[in-house]
Amino acid sequence: MQKAILAASACLFAMTAHAQDLPEKYKTAGKLIVANTPNYPPMEYRDPATNELVGVDIDLGKALAKQLGTEIEWSEIGFEQMVSSLNTGRVDLVLSGMSDLPARRETMDFVDYMRSGAQFYTSAKRKDEFKTLTDFCGKTVGMSRRTSFPDEAAKWSAANCEANGKPALNIVGTEGSADARTQLKQGRLDGAVQGSETLPYLLTLEKDTYAIVGEPFTEVYQGIGFSKQTPELRDAIAGALKAIMASGEYKAIFEKYDLAGSTLDGVMINGEAVK
């Protein structure tokens, strides 16, 4: 049934996306209200010097809005409030480093726009202790409790630590990625996990402070989130994304933040490629 729904959505998108036309409701408003939490560089953050909202998602949102002939009003709300704000109509869409997960698709639709993954890292002074991912077995590792990382790390631990007779990860849910990094610096954690797209920026911002260990242990798409009640808006955004992919503007945004390797080759809705 779900495959049929996705196929129908893809067909609808193929028929309508070329128009890149906003539904009348949003044209009349003259803007899109977009949920964002600016604490996840380089995806979204405030420039320390100017307090200006910057990042991949910010640049992408502006490019999509321009393509659609409208404006963006950023609504800064807590990540845990985003789904309820979307489904009650407080915001029109979510563009804030949100992973397109099967569980989230039960209440939301996604237009996917980049690749991501959960990545282990440690402090630079302890990098020689962690040559492989399984060196974290039995160690205390922190990650934001508001993300999917704790569940994903537990599954990884079961398959790679416990299944091989090694002690399980001691997973600590933190108040966010910044809190995990603080605890890592304080020596309260042996390692941490956050999105692979954030770590290159972090290493340039705080040189000789952290060390990435191995490759990401999950693969996931980041998506722009929509209420299931607004498929027309979803398809309009997907059409705009297709246009900026074709023009090269999409690639340029990711290259600006050294994330060219995270780009997608085409538009995807709920993890499925569409034409």
What does the pLDDT average to over 122-148? 95
What does the pLDDT average to over 65-69? 97
CATH fold of 2-116+220-273, please? D-Maltodextrin-Binding Protein; domain 2 (3.40.190)
**E strand spans, the chain:** 31-36, 39-40, 44-46, 53-54, 71-76, 93-94, 108-116, 118-123, 140-144, 170-174, 191-195, 210-212, 220-227, 268-269, 272-273
pTM of the model: 0.80
Q: Report residue 119 CA to chain centroid gap.
A: 13
pLDDT at 79: 83
What does the pLDDT average to over 36-40? 90
- The answer to whether residues 145 and 174 touch, using CB atoms and an 8 Å cutoff, is yes
What does the pLDDT average to over 86-108? 94
pLDDT at 167: 98
Q: What percent of the chain has pLDDT over 70?
A: 93
Domain ranges within the chain, ordered by starting residue: 2-116+220-273, 118-212
pLDDT at 20: 57
118-212 is classed CATH 3.40.190.10: yes
Residue 3: pLDDT above 90?
A: no
What does the pLDDT average to over 131-155? 95
- Average pLDDT of the chain, as a whole number: 91
- Let me know if the fold of 2-116+220-273 is the same as that of 118-212: yes
pLDDT at 16: 40
SS3 114: strand
Per mean pLDDT, which of 96-105, 142-151, 229-238 is the most reliable?
A: 229-238
